[in-house]
């Protein structure tokens, strides 16, 4: 069992297992919503996720559509501001903010994505694959790995 919580501990959740992919997203919206160089998103199945506490604290913001659906949606704790997981009603898979996890999820990052929108002050120095938007779309279309 993998557990996680926000900064204030008001929002708590557990995941029986993480299935991946584990992606580090450098897009401008992820950078702004996190205030950091990238967002670390770990893929989990909706059926493996359970919110333990804090549903009443969760707020969401949907950014205006840039190009095509789905819109960029960020959910956060209304008390401490941490990003929090919020499974979409119609999806059987979604990504949780990996920084919230208390322990080791047993997965390691698979790749950097949206690297063409990366912050100029951050240099990627690891050996992970680096995908730009077009390459990511092609990968998703293949259906090989979500």
Instruction: Say whether residue 136 binds Zn ion (CB under 5 A).
Output: no
Contact stretch for Zn ion (CB under 5 A) within 71-79, 97-105, 123-131, 133-141: 71-79
Instruction: Say whether residue 15 binds Zn ion (CB under 5 A).
Output: no
In degrees rounded to 5, what are phi and psi of residue 98? -65, -25
Contact stretch for Zn ion (CB under 5 A) within 45-53, 63-71, 74-82, 115-123: 74-82
Minimum separation from the CB atom of position 122 to Zn ion (A): 14
Minimum separation from the CB atom of position 64 to Zn ion (A): 15
Please tell me whether residue 2 adopts helix, strand or coil conformation: strand
Which residue do the tokens 């584990």 mark?
22
* Residue among 32 and 47 whose Cβ is closer to Zn ion: 32
Torsion sign, CA atoms 64, 49, 2, 10:
positive
Measure the CA dihedral 141/25/130/106, to 10°.
-90
Which is it for strands 111-113 and 22-25: parallel, antiparallel or unpaired? parallel
Q: What residues numbered 78-107 form the site for Zn ion, per CB under 5 A?
A: 79-80
Find the binder of Zn ion among 44, 74, 77, 101 (CB under 5 A).
Answer: 77
Structure tokens at 54: 């804090």
Instruction: Say whether residue 25 binds Zn ion (CB under 5 A).
Output: yes
Instruction: Say whether residue 6 binds Zn ion (CB under 5 A).
Output: yes
């Amino acid at each position: 069992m993998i557990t996680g919580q926000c900064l204030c501990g008001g929002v708590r959740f557990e995941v029986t297992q993480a299935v991946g992919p584990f992606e580090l997203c450098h897009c401008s919206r992820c950078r702004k919503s996190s205030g950091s160089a990238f967002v670390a998103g770990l893929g989990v199945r909706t059926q493996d996720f359970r919110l333990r506490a804090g549903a009443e604290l969760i707020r969401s913001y949907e950014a205006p559509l840039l190009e095509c659906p789905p819109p960029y949606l960020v959910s956060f704790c209304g008390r401490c501001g941490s990003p929090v997981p919020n499974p979409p009603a119609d999806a059987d898979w979604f990504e949780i903010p990996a920084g919230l996890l208390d322990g080791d999820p047993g997965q390691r990052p698979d790749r950097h994505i949206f690297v063409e929108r990366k912050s100029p002050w951050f240099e990627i120095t690891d050996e992970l694959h680096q995908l730009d938007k077009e390459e990511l779309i092609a990968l998703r279309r293949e259906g090989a790995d979500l």
